[in-house]
Every structure is written in structure tokens, then in C-alpha cells.
Structure 1
């Protein structure tokens, strides 16, 4: 009897599928049953070959060998996971395997993981596709009951290959050209470089900003605070101090007459379901989590706990068929803090509307929502509970009615000038009950008016002015990017485009901006790890290396328009509207163009972070760099690659100012140092914590120190770290 081989993307998902399909017999890195054999990848097992695989001349990084343009891109097995590849290949070539079922993540990259394995193995058996958005038992069973013909996803695979090959050609050639030209470890790419350019533009705006002092006038009657409003512009401020002071003088011993009373009943819908970027933004803003950290937590909630749906989604809507399962999902989350909230929804007809149920706005995956899986919150970490809580409350909120309030706007006249006030009375909390007052209302907008409790008042009333005062402030520069705001800018980079081409703007809106919902977190981490960005508190700042890089990179690579153009064409390839060869010919020509531009450029790169410390391995001066969580010394010679951790940010809090302290090591002694000046040796810290009953064991400390050591030994650089290793340059 012929069997089907199921290839999952990760072991955890593979084992879940095997359990549902009753495959319990171990079989050489797989689990076997009567009808199915289930095996798995470990993410990508196969990747595009490095340049030296095509020709030995590429082993030496030399400008004369550029551009590198292989006639046909080759695939290689990733060395670290070669054993697992052989396991999958062995299963593929079993004589009793009649077909392959691709059960990798349902998306462009997931398709690539499986198809590259099949291509490298030379397997041409019939293919079917499992396409599911959660890994609960129910979703797996339904998915296997509705498998698709694998040929249906051929165009999606074509788009994935084009994206990978184009990034290889542009990234490898651009990076080698910059590195050879300037003898410094420089890299470029069509997503990372425009991201740096956006940060640079924001920093330029901040540097160029000149604060201006502005003035206003406020008056107080017995119950209401009124704010002066310019009759012509409608603004609540003026930059002319003498004008504000004259108005203040005119207001002495005067009355205000109420000229207008407007009452509007307003209803506000819930903010909407989460996609990954919105969730990463909120997690950064509320808990300080990085985009990568949030994605990793989400993966655990999706794969291990199975309580949330697929995280890598750019949709904030669910389809009608998913909407039919809402009551089951509500029953699953009817625990602890959500029991009462979910229970009241289960007992009544659901409010479904286009604000969150819309088939047309669901692409590969719907919004992130809870699954039908029973929840065991006691088995979650604190971080997992926080992210789970965000998703569950957002899911509950869309099912509750709108928040309804009465907005009252007042206008008055005194001394021939206009004054305004506003207030709000909540009539029905609606979806806000879900948040237990956790969510702050965004009432104090830039209109300068603050909400206040207003008395009963009518047009024509006279109010005695008890007090009048001059207010003042200064205009503020744009804020530095944080991870949350950088994610927003990457998702919608239109304002950073030089071109105002309508089609480009439209394309960037449709394709989701710079990078994809699945890759933005990795791109941000890559920029930190290659020392192009550093964190100061929550703020992101460019390093001198990044600013120099921008002056050396071809202009096109700095623009979001390039990604817009690529993603538009990749989308057309995925739909079968554009041929793969046509796109790759354009990439070929573009790659040659940027290499020639870098060769001809007369710019110069200089290390601006050299220290007096000599590398103990090669003797060259070392560079001082700020990693995301550590300060380091890194050898300037890329062939050497030696680095030393000087200090690392810890979770230990200063007893004086309660901020996180840094750990420094000198002469074998580890010491905590805080920015406020507080110092404490590790031994004294441990003794103090034990005395306070904090329960920090020697085992915990050793585990932490081992983690530090391991991190210090990991490669400093980005995805090109292996490619950069062992390079030889003409001096």
C-alpha cells in the first residue's frame, strides 16, 4: 500500500500532525502510520550556494571578479542541518511513498522551504498542499480533509525563488563591491539600506529643527477652563508674545458670553484585530519588547501552546468561514480574567460586521486570533501571558458594541476674542469594558483642548472670569525612532519617498512597505548586529558607520521605491501575471549597474570609532561598538574577527534609581555599574539579594554568565557573516 510523506517546517508541528494522523511508529527521523509518514525540516535545510561554490576565484574578495552572475543559481544543503536533510531525502525516496504533502508554513517562504528540499533531492513525485492558519487538532484534521493540488502553488514558489535570487545577486554583489572598494565590512540591501536612510532623514530633521516659543491664553470661570482660539486660523497658540499679553490685559474684570453649545453623540469601534506589525508595535510600546522578541513569543504561543493562530500575517480581518468558529474560540478562552467577558458573548448573537469580517481583505492568512484549543495559562511564561492577553482582549473587543459618548463643544466670546472648551460624557462603555481601564483614552490630541467635566450650560449664558493667565511652550522636534515607530515607518514609508508617483505610492500601500510582516523583525536585528544602529534608552540612533555607508551606497538602493517595484512584480509572478525570466533579466541588468556605480564612486570610508586597544590576536587597533545589549571591542580586521565584551546590560536593578545596571568585568572580577554612579561587585550583589530573600541561586548566576559567554562567541555580523569569513583582500 502506497503512503503519503508529509513534510512539516519544524519538529513541533510535525509531531502534532503525526499525532492527529495516528503516526506513532518511529522510522529514521520520521513518524509512521498506516497511511502517512510525517517528517520535518528545521526551517530552511537548503539555500542558495555561496559564490565560491560556482568558481574558486570567488574565494578571494576582489573587485576584478565582480559582478558575480551565475548562469543558473545552485542550491546547497546547509551544513548545520545536513543530517536532517538526509533524513528527509531518505523518506522521499522510499518506494512505498507515492506522493508528498507540503505542510510547511502557509506562505511564500514556507513554500520555498519545502520546494527547495524537493528540488535539491531531485524528487518529482506528485505534490499536495496543506494550507492552515493554526496547528490545533481541529485545524489539522480539516486541512487534511481539504488538501490542494501542489501545482496550484507553483506561481507562489516562482515568486519566492525570484525574491531569494534577486536578494542574493544585489546583496552579494553590492556587499562585496563596497567591502572591496573601502576595505571595511560594509553591506547593503534593498530593504536594510532604505530603512537606514529613513532613520538618517529623521535625524537630519531633528538636527535642523529650531524650537520656537509660542503663547496662549486661558481663563477660568467658576466651573470651566476656557482656551483662547485664533479666529482666522483656528489655532490655540500664537508666536507673538505681545499679542497674547495685550489680550490678557483686555480680559481683566470682564465676562465671557457663551456663543455656541454643540452636543454630538459619537460611537467609536474597537481598534480592530491584530496583524503581526500592529502587535509588535503595541508590545514594544507597552512592554519594551523588540520586534524579534515579540515574534519569537508568538511562535511559542502558535507552535507549542497552540492557543493563537499563525503569527506572520499582514491582515487584520478574518474570513466568513473563520467567523463561524468564533463561539468555539470564545469557549476556549473562557478562563480566568476572560471568563466573564467571553461568557456574556457566548450567550447572545454575535455582532459581525465588515470592520473585522471581510473575505476580500484576507490574503494568505487572517488576523491573529485565539484558537479553539483549551488554554493552560499556568504553563505560559510571563512574556507569553502578556502577548496572549493583548491578542485575546483585542479579539474580545471587536465582538463588543461600540463605545458611545456625548461630546460637548463650547464656544464663548470675551474682550472681542474667541474661546473654546470641550467635554465628554460616557454613555456606554461598549468594548472599553474589555480593557478594565488599561487602555488610556487618546483624548488630549494636538488641538490643545483637554477634556473636562462640564456643567449644564446653554447659549447666551454669561460666565464671570475669575482668573486669566498667559500660557507658553516650545515647539518640539520630531521624535527619534523607537522600534515601534520604525516598524510603522517600514510598513508605510510613503512620506520618506522622494518620488510622489501615484502608482509607486499605491504599490507601497498594497505591498506592505519595506520588507514583509515576516522579515521586518530580522532586518531590525540585523541592523543592530552589524553596528549600523544603536539604542539609547528606547531611541534608535545611527552610528557613524551607517552615515558613511549611506554616502557610499548607490542612490537607488536607498529608496523605498525599489522595494515597491520588486514587490509589485513578485505579486504579479505569484498570480501568474508575469514570467519569472522577465523579472530576473531586469535584476541581472540592475546588479551590473550598481556594481559599476560603486566601482566608479570616489567616496572614502574611515573608521570613526577606533580605540587605542590593540587586538590580542592580530595587533591591529580595535573598534568600540555598541551592540543592542552590550558594549564591545571588535577587531577592525575582518579576517581576524576577534571581539571582547566590555559590558552588558543586565536585568539587575540599581537599588538607588531602579534602572537596569551594566555588568563590567576587569581582572576576573565582575561588577555592576549604574548610570547614576552606583557600583556593586557581583559577590556583594548576590549576598544582598539573598539577604533580601530574592532567591538568586549560584546556579541562576552561573546560567546567566554561561549565556553571556555563549553570546560573546556568536558571530557579530549579519546574514553575510559566513560569506565574510575568511575573505582575502589585496592590501
Structure 2
């Protein structure tokens, strides 16, 4: 039996072929695409001898696009894009891959899909199915599910093939169509309205500037702008607090005022003077208790991105690129997962055993496996399970491959140390809290000593601060070493860091674990925000102006609520609880209403832009792009429509949407067509009249 196997990337096809063939009897030949080779070898699936042909795609095989007549910006009213026909097609640069699949599928009986086991991978799988079944409708379709490119996972996957899940692919189709329609309509509207009306200073100097709108991108920008506005609106306010310290037994206890601080200076001075006049402190309470510091939950995608940003200042985009390369090389499990809870079927001890030989954490791994140390503890779950992949964990031992960059080493080390930490006992600290009374005012101090470091021995990214304080007993009295009135000033919150931004997106349901880093990157690529060396984001004038304009309209297109509802509905589709058609209809109806309202209130966007940018002196084509009723196709450009509009003076006219390349205006009251062409071309009025009338 001939079996066509298809992976998502050439490197994965090679790795899986090497594992299944045990690197013996494998033959490599060229496909139509020089990047996507074909590997051939023999294998037995559940007693059935098979001749395996293994090739690959390179991510999505197909793209979603509008029909040809809607692709040009001036060809239609942007509002029409909410209903314009769309279709999937194989772009020119993927045609050779398509030909390879067609040729190989014709002589096969089975098609086994080895695409990444997430929604996106399932969608690509059905793209492959569509291409292959078009030439061989009798193919038996099977799905291999795996989470790591290691022997036991791959052999288990091929011996336990499943059916592909259409509902997962449908969720991606819904998201693609929603994003295409919303993004294209708002992007065309914004860009045509404002690009030529203002001198917009960006890294492109305004050349080829696209003022893009994305249903995930804009709420992400909203988080950045909202924090920036909080900082701008903050008014510093002075406050006062009383601080007390006591030195004894060679140790110092710093007591904090239990009122915190006061904003009334007179009040603070009166209380402070009372304390100075009667400075004797009386110990009113002493509490001793052991407290655990728990290790982190097993690692999912968002936590990996947040921790890499926090510990190494790596961008989320770069983190995912490096993690993907480590996965494809077989060193870590699949890095796109929402799961932070290990299944009871996962052999955690074997994963630890593979790390015993490492020069840095190998000794700790040995201690974990020694029952006598009592260091092992089954990991706590974080409550998230995407039912597709386990948490991110090491799958192969390495001391650092020769081709690895410093970032590869850092990320692999983080994954290993995080895994070892989450199967370890919590750290244990002895904590002492002392409360004192000075002239009726209460103060408290806390001291801590770490009794057992446990997971902190391997997870050096975290620490547990604390210091020893003198020994106190209830009723004990002493005179403070220092007793002072301090002043301070309230400070605004800091700019959002990348870890903060990921947390907000995760909490509000903006994007998925596999796409959040892309939305952040788009803010930078579109010049809507900048990121400093400390990974903190500041909105640009352009980003702030766009958010301000939509905010002034009175509804919250820059807030996360609308997109969060869409993401929730798409999850329902992936679970089979809602249909793709229902989610598309609901989401697009909602956003079309927002679009029409935004267009009616476009003056708000223009006013917001005028605050930050100088007007260019051009009209911004606002009048020319105010769409009207389509009359006929333009006979001059043969591409765009002629539409009926009202001019500034209140008269009606017919105009070609092909402006500025070509504009035909027919003033109704004069019954005479006039041609305006930006290239200086002219036609005789008689010739125009004959063409149209």
C-alpha cells in the first residue's frame, strides 16, 4: 500500500522520515518544489506493509482573498467587503508544492497528515486534503497526532492514526474570513480618508503608508495607549509616612507604619510628634509560621513568552522563532500550547532521567530521582488544557549544540529548569511578623529565613528575599533606633512591558497563544507603537491619534470586548458547539454596523489626526471616496465603477472610482461629461460623449 505523508515543514518531514525508517533504507528524491523533497521508505502500520512517501508543505498552502473585482482599493465601497465573495486559492509561489501533492496522491491509497497539532495545523491539513482528493477522491484520510519529534511520540502517532477534525479547521476559516473582511474594510477606509490629508511622519516618510486596522491589532494597541493615557493623566501628590527601625543583636528590624501614609501634612506631623514625645515601643504581637513558596505551573506558550521577555528581554516573536527551531530539532515539545497541566499518562520520571548527565543541573536531576531526598513532588496544574498538546518540556538531552545561538541555549535552559522546578517541592521559609505600638500608632516588621530552597536550587530565575530580625516577645519594650517622618510622591504606573501586554491579551482573550506575538509585532511594523530597551511600549502619535479618533466616536473599537466575543465564538466552533456560518454572520453583522457608524462619524478621526499631524493642504480624497450608488463600469479604465455622488455645492455628479489615476466626472446640472486625469491625459469631450452616451 502506498501512503502519502505530508508534514507542515520540510525539516519536520525529514525528521519524521528519519525516525520511522530508523535511518535505514530511506531514499530521497526531488519534488516539483526544490525546497520540499520526497523521502521514501518501507514501514508497517498495524501489520499492514506500507511504502511511505513523505513530503511537506511550507505552512499554509492556500490564501483567502476577495474575488478579483474587489481587490483594487477604489473598485468598490469598503462597506461592500463585508459581503463581497471570497475564495481560497493556491498562490503562485506554492503551485509547485501543489503539483507535487497531486502527482504523488494519484498513486497512493492513503493520505496521512502530519501537520502541527493545533487549529492552524488542522486547517492546513484540510487544504492538503482538498488538493489531494481533487485528483484522487478514493484516498483514505488519516491524521497523525504528536507533540514532540522524538521516537516514542512519532511511532505512537503512526500506530494510532485518527480522523482529522473539521471543526478545528472551520474555526480557522472563520477567523481568516472575519479578519480579512474587517481588516480590509477598515484599513481602506482609514487610509483613503487620512493618508493624503495629513503629513504623517513615520520611518517610511509617508511613502506606501498603510493605516491598517486589525480586530486583534487594535485592541492590542488600545492596551498600550490606555496605559500611556493613565501616565499622562497622573498628577503627582505628596504624602507622608512614619518609619521606625530598631537595631539589636546585630540585626535590624524595619517597621512600617500600618496606616501606610497620609496625604495631610498637618495630620502626619501631629501623629509623628505624639510618637516622638512617647517613643517607647511595646511589642503587641509576634507570629511565627512556616510558609511555602510554590514552584511555577508547567510551561505553556504565553508563560514561555512572558518569562523569556522578563528574564532575557527577548521579544515574543523571537522567542517563538527560537522555540520553533528547538522543537523542529527535537529538543523540546511543541511550543504552541495552552496546556499547563501534565496528564497522568506523561512519564515525568523519564524526562528527568534524560537530564542527569548535564554539567549544570544534572546533579539536581539525580537528587529529584532519589526517593531518599524527598525532593520530588507531582506538579500542580494551572487549570488550562487545550486537549491537543502537553505543557512545553524538554524532549532530548543537550549541553548546547554546535549550531545553537546564545538565545537557543538560554531558551532550552529555561525549558529544562522550568520543568525540573515544577516537579519539585516548594521552598520553605520561616517567617516572623512583629507588631509594635508607639503612642497608639501601630507598626509591623517581617523577617524571613529560607529553611529549604528545594526548587529554588535549580530555578535561579526566582529568588525569595528576606532577612533575619531581632528576637522579640509579646510585651517587650524598647526605644527605636530611628523614628522619622518621611515624605514621598505618588508615581504613575510604568509603561506596559511585553510581559504585561501578553498578560492583558491573554486575560481578555485577544488572539491565541500562537498569534499574540504577531499582533504585537504588527504594532511596531505599522509605526503605531515603539518598544524601548526595557521592552516597554509607547504609542506613536499615529497610534494615539487613531485610538483617540475611535474613542471620540463614543464606541470602543479599540477595546478588547468585541474581539474577545469573537475569539470565544471561534473556540465554540473548534469544539463543535457552534457552526462556522453562525459565527461569521453574527460577527460580521456586528462589525459592519460599527463600520457604517464610523464612516458617518469620520470627522472625529480627522479631528484627532489634526491634533498630532499637519494638514497636507490636499483634500485627502474624502469627497471623492464618499461612495454612492453604482451606475455602471467606467468605460475609460475598464476596471472601476462609476458612482452617483453629491458634490460640495449640493449638486449630483457621476464619478469614476479609479481616482487619482483617472477620474471621470459628469455634473448632473450641466449634462456634460468632464474628464480629469492625474497624468495630464486628455480626451475630446465628443469622444467621451460617444463612449458613454
Instruction: Tell me the TM-score normalised to structure 2 length.
Output: 0.78
- Range with greater deviation from structure 2 (292-301 or 184-193): 184-193
- Range with greater deviation from structure 2 (153-162 or 592-601): 592-601
Structure 1 residues 541 and 254: CA distance shift in structure 2, 3 A: closer
CA distance in 1, matches of 2:407, 2:379: 32
Q: Describe the SS at the equivalent of 2:81.
A: coil
Structure 1 residues 597 and 728: CA distance shift in structure 2, 3 A: farther
Which of 450, 456, 474 matches 2:489? Answer: 474
Structure 1 residues 65 and 562: CA distance shift in structure 2, 3 A: closer
Q: Describe the SS at the equivalent of 2:502.
A: helix
Q: Describe the SS at the equivalent of 2:446.
A: strand
Q: Describe the SS at the equivalent of 2:213.
A: coil
Match of 2:446 in 1: 422
Match of 2:45 in 1: none
| TM alignment of 1:353-392, pairs within 5 A | 353=378, 355-356=380-381, 361-372=385-396, 376-392=400-416
Match of 1:47 in 2: 63
Alpha-carbon contact 2:6-2:115 (below 8 Å) kept = yes
Which of 460, 473, 476 matches 1:461? Answer: 476
CA distance in 2, matches of 1:297, 1:103: 21
- Range with greater deviation from structure 2 (601-610 or 204-213): 601-610
CA distance in 1, matches of 2:420, 2:578: 41
| TM alignment of 1:332-343, pairs within 5 A | 332=355, 334-343=357-366
Alpha-carbon contact 1:220-1:467 (below 8 Å) kept = yes
Report the CA distance between 1:342 and its aligned residue. 0.7
1:127 equivalenced with 2:135 (yes/no): no
Report the CA distance between 1:350 and its aligned residue. 7.8
Map Cα deviations across residues 490-516 of structure 1 (whole Å, 9 max, x no partner). 1113xxxxxxxxxxxxxxxxxxx1101
Alpha-carbon contact 2:8-2:59 (below 8 Å) kept = yes
Report the CA distance between 1:479 and its aligned residue. 1.0
Report the CA distance between 1:560 and its aligned residue. 1.4
Structure 1 residues 728 and 336: CA distance shift in structure 2, 3 A: farther
Match of 1:673 in 2: none
Which of 75, 82, 85 matches 2:95? Answer: 82
Alpha-carbon contact 1:318-1:362 (below 8 Å) kept = no
Match of 1:578 in 2: 578
Report the CA distance between 1:48 and its aligned residue. 0.8
Q: Describe the SS at the equivalent of 1:160.
A: helix
| TM alignment of 1:495-534, pairs within 5 A | 513-534=509-530
| TM alignment of 1:250-399, pairs within 5 A | 250=274, 251-252=276-277, 254-304=279-329, 306-322=330-346, 324-332=347-355, 334-348=357-371, 351-353=376-378, 355-356=380-381, 361-372=385-396, 376-399=400-423
Alpha-carbon contact 2:73-2:188 (below 8 Å) kept = no
Match of 1:24 in 2: 26
Report the CA distance between 1:9 and its aligned residue. 0.4
Match of 1:486 in 2: 501
CA distance in 1, matches of 2:159, 2:375: 28
Which of 417, 423, 434 matches 2:458? Answer: 434
CA distance in 2, matches of 1:290, 1:70: 37
CA distance in 1, matches of 2:511, 2:490: 33
Report the CA distance between 1:106 and its aligned residue. 0.3
Map Cα deviations across residues 266-319 of structure 1 (whole Å, 9 max, x no partner). 112102222111121121122211110111111111112x11111111222211
Match of 2:673 in 1: none
Map Cα deviations across residues 387-443 of structure 1 (whole Å, 9 max, x no partner). 11111111111222111111111011122221211101222112111135x5233x5
CA distance in 1, matches of 2:598, 2:386: 42
Match of 1:717 in 2: none
CA distance in 2, matches of 1:465, 1:584: 69
Alpha-carbon contact 1:225-1:421 (below 8 Å) kept = yes
Q: Describe the SS at the equivalent of 1:258.
A: strand
CA distance in 2, matches of 1:364, 1:294: 21
* Gaps in structure 2 of 5+ consecutive residues: 32-36, 43-49, 197-209, 621-658, 664-677, 679-693
Structure 1 residues 369 and 58: CA distance shift in structure 2, 3 A: closer
Alpha-carbon contact 2:7-2:114 (below 8 Å) kept = yes
Report the CA distance between 1:727 and its aligned residue. 10
Alpha-carbon contact 2:352-2:420 (below 8 Å) kept = no
Alpha-carbon contact 1:47-1:77 (below 8 Å) kept = yes
Report the CA distance between 1:454 and its aligned residue. 1.6
Structure 1 residues 333 and 391: CA distance shift in structure 2, 3 A: farther
Report the CA distance between 1:7 and its aligned residue. 0.8
CA distance in 1, matches of 2:87, 2:270: 78
Alpha-carbon contact 1:341-1:434 (below 8 Å) kept = yes
Alpha-carbon contact 1:62-1:729 (below 8 Å) kept = no
Q: Describe the SS at the equivalent of 2:436.
A: strand
| TM alignment of 1:163-178, pairs within 5 A | 163-178=175-190
Match of 1:562 in 2: 562
CA distance in 2, matches of 1:462, 1:183: 73
Structure with max Cα Rg? 2
Structure 1 residues 431 and 727: CA distance shift in structure 2, 3 A: farther
CA distance in 1, matches of 2:661, 2:496: 37
Structure 1 residues 454 and 227: CA distance shift in structure 2, 3 A: closer
1:144 equivalenced with 2:141 (yes/no): no
Alpha-carbon contact 1:46-1:120 (below 8 Å) kept = no
Match of 2:81 in 1: 68
* Gaps in structure 1 of 5+ consecutive residues: 444-450, 494-512, 614-619, 621-725
Map Cα deviations across residues 549-569 of structure 1 (whole Å, 9 max, x no partner). 224458353231222211222
CA distance in 2, matches of 1:491, 1:729: 47
CA distance in 2, matches of 1:228, 1:598: 53
| TM alignment of 1:545-694, pairs within 5 A | 545-553=542-550, 555=555, 557-603=557-603, 604-605=605-606, 606=609
CA distance in 2, matches of 1:225, 1:352: 35
Structure 1 residues 261 and 352: CA distance shift in structure 2, 3 A: closer
Report the CA distance between 1:460 and its aligned residue. 1.1
Structure 1 residues 257 and 592: CA distance shift in structure 2, 3 A: closer
CA distance in 1, matches of 2:5, 2:613: 53
CA distance in 2, matches of 1:103, 1:283: 29
Instruction: Tell me the TM-score normalised to structure 1 length.
Output: 0.74
Map Cα deviations across residues 672-718 of structure 1 (whole Å, 9 max, x no partner). xxxxxxxxxxxxxxxxxxxxxxxxxxxxxxxxxxxxxxxxxxxxxxx
Q: Describe the SS at the equivalent of 1:404.
A: strand
Alpha-carbon contact 1:4-1:101 (below 8 Å) kept = yes
Structure 1 residues 21 and 181: CA distance shift in structure 2, 3 A: same
Report the CA distance between 1:73 and its aligned residue. 3.1
Match of 1:202 in 2: 227
